[in-house]
Structure 1
Amino acid sequence: MLYYILRPYVTFLLKFFIKRIKITGIENIPKTGAVMLASTHANSFFDAVLLCCTLDRRVWSLARGDVFKKNLAKKALSSLFMMPVHRLSEGKEHLGNNDDTFKKCIELFKQGEIVLIFSEGLCTNQTKLLPLKKGTGRLAQQAWLDGLDLKVIPVAITYNNFKSFGKIINLSFGEAIPKAELPNPTEDGVFLRRFNEILSEKLNQSLNWNFPKLSPLQTPFFTLGYILHFPAIGLATFISKKLTKGTVFFDSITIGLMIVLIPLYWLIVFFVVRTFGLL
């Protein structure tokens, strides 16, 4: 699977991309059993990349449905354990496909897997929580109606910037939403409203916008990696800024370019060193 090939490699690359990441509450993720990560979504696909590389357990992710249109993209994304969720803006005719995705999520919960859903639905480079959609609540509702022991974990991610290299990130995993504090899942509208109220409260409590000012000496691995790989990093950043101007995809495209450019850079350095007899 592409997921298992890329995950350790991208985890390594993130050390060049992130100056510092502060992770809190990771002990709230059970070692086994069904988990739904109900996450904020300020940074496009990079949010999913970050979470998949942070957790030891396999993570299935829900992603915008329009990126699955081409067969090659669909196969690649499926190999990364990603599933499509279609929005009204993509056309009403696609919304029925969400039923299949939600059924797949329930099956994954029955198998004790982790599913990542972005509860705000939309992605903007925002610095506050957006109104939550109903999808997270509906998935939890169905899982609990089916008698599953699903843990819903609020996940809050904040970034010190969205448009430049060298991130400082706060990543917080909250305590599971207490099922006992919710109305009976059979009470549809009441249940969903109360679920989103509790989830919003927990996410807002976890959002942390305090970022330290770090000198190069305080981030030695990042600093050394940046210096040694500056040509590849500089090229990736330059291309990404050109491609993603006015969008939310800078970090996603940059890390994607680094996946390709860093090995090429290593090969170039190797052949140059061999050519000049330095090895």
Structure 2
Amino acid sequence: MKHSIYPRVLFRGGKDTGIIIIFTKIQSLLYEGLKLASRLAIRLLCREIRVNNPAILGLKGPVLLAANHPNSFLDSILLDTLFNEPVWALARGDAFHKKWHARLLRALRIFPVYRTSEGVENLHVNYQTFDNCVALFKQNQIVTIYSEALCVNEWHLRNLKKGTARLAIQAWEAGVPLTVLPVGINYSSFRIIGKNVHINFGEPITAARVPLSKSDGHRHLHFNQCLQEELKKLVYEIAPTDTNRLTQLLESPVSKIEKIILFPFARIGQLIHWPLHYPLQKFTLQKFGKTGHYDSVLSALLLLSYPVYLLLIVVLLWILGISLLLALLIVASFPLLAWSHIRTKKQFDFQ
């Protein structure tokens, strides 16, 4: 019998059976709707996304994506948007403290993982999360885990925590033919909308590479050594002041002819999107400017508000006496004009 891929909720039966069916459908619709919106908007948030092995994006589970974590939840948005199959993710437990936060995150297929610093009393939740992940793997699902645990805006691979090893070994001991796929995520900027992103996939790690008969400490260490070696090949090592290396690795050249052709459209695109971008950027700077979440929060706000902004423009044009058809045609050009601006704007913070 196939079980629901959502966390189990206890109901009394009868009418409650209908409630859980409706609840599950709403969760699924919310997730699918946001994934579709992300796919439409991702080329405006990122001017170039380069994947070293695009065929992997069609992969089916059971797969554990073991990634570095340079840019908060934008990392998850990117991976989930690019993969054909749904991608579940694990996130820091303190994001789940408010009930409505927890409900929203679970609807978006995100599970909590607590660190000791977030309260020893919460560590039992990790066992439930890992059990949920193993259940997902048994249904051939894909899950992302950030092996460094903490998000830091940098071009550097930090030491790996034990969570990835524990989850992978738990799945293997449960008889799941899990593949652990190392993923290196590299951004040209952590402040600019319209960044270049390089996503590098490494060699898979399977149970055959880990001495499962050894002690926990030995096999965790061996697994992390294998994963660290793979991720070192995938994550760019760039000093914060080394602008030459940053440019060499992550610049996407634009020809002078393209810049000349797109220039008038880019300026129009910049102007008509200013009423949306500027206040959101100012708000995000005030609230998150000194954290590693600024870029992700601004990207998410733009992603969620852009359809509303376009709808308001349509209504405004219609009120001004422009026919609905013409208003829709005008607004349909907005994403193209925004793309022109993204193509020609600066690519790095130091420019």
> In structure 2, what is the Cα distance between the partners aligned to 1:49 and 1:28?
17
> In structure 2, what is the Cα distance between the partners aligned to 1:150 and 1:29?
17
How far has the Cα of 1:263 moved from its partner? Answer: 2.4
> In structure 2, what is the Cα distance between the partners aligned to 1:64 and 1:16?
27
RMSD in angstroms over aligned alpha carbons? 2.2
How far has the Cα of 1:261 moved from its partner? Answer: 2.5
Specify the alignment match of 1:47 in structure 2: 75
Specify the alignment match of 2:316 in structure 1: 272
Does the Cα contact within 8 Å between 1:229 and 1:262 map onto a contact in 2? no
Does the Cα contact within 8 Å between 2:182 and 2:202 map onto a contact in 1? yes
- The reply on whether 1:141 has 2:185 as its aligned counterpart is no
Specify the alignment match of 1:151 in structure 2: 179
Identity of aligned residues (%): 35
How far has the Cα of 1:71 moved from its partner? Answer: 1.3
Does the Cα contact within 8 Å between 1:36 and 1:150 map onto a contact in 2? yes
Using a 3 Å threshold, how does the CA distance of structure 1 residues 275 and 98 change in structure 2: closer, same or farther? Answer: same
> In structure 1, what is the Cα distance between the partners aligned to 2:57 and 2:218?
27
- The reply on whether 1:263 has 2:307 as its aligned counterpart is yes
Does the Cα contact within 8 Å between 2:58 and 2:83 map onto a contact in 1? no
Specify the alignment match of 1:211 in structure 2: 250
TM-score (norm 2): 0.74
- Larger RCO (CA under 8 A, 6+ residues apart): 1
> In structure 1, what is the Cα distance between the partners aligned to 2:213 and 2:202?
22
How far has the Cα of 1:225 moved from its partner? Answer: 5.9
Does the Cα contact within 8 Å between 1:28 and 1:176 map onto a contact in 2? no
Which amino acid is the alignment partner of residue 150 of structure 1? L
How far has the Cα of 1:38 moved from its partner? Answer: 0.2
What stretches of structure 2 of length at least 5 have no aligned partner? Answer: 1-27, 237-245, 324-351
**For this pair of structures, how many residues does the alignment match?**
278
How far has the Cα of 1:127 moved from its partner? Answer: 1.3
1:18 is aligned, of 46, 51, 59, to: 46
Which amino acid is the alignment partner of residue 239 of structure 1? F
How far has the Cα of 1:275 moved from its partner? Answer: 2.5
Using a 3 Å threshold, how does the CA distance of structure 1 residues 257 and 213 change in structure 2: closer, same or farther? Answer: same
Which amino acid is the alignment partner of residue 265 of structure 1? Y
> In structure 2, what is the Cα distance between the partners aligned to 1:18 and 1:12?
11
Using a 3 Å threshold, how does the CA distance of structure 1 residues 8 and 226 change in structure 2: closer, same or farther? Answer: farther
Which amino acid is the alignment partner of residue 250 of structure 1? Y
What stretches of structure 1 of length at least 5 have no aligned partner? Answer: none
Query: Which shows bigger deviation, 261-270 or 207-216?
Result: 207-216
Using a 3 Å threshold, how does the CA distance of structure 1 residues 189 and 20 change in structure 2: closer, same or farther? Answer: same
Specify the alignment match of 1:238 in structure 2: 282
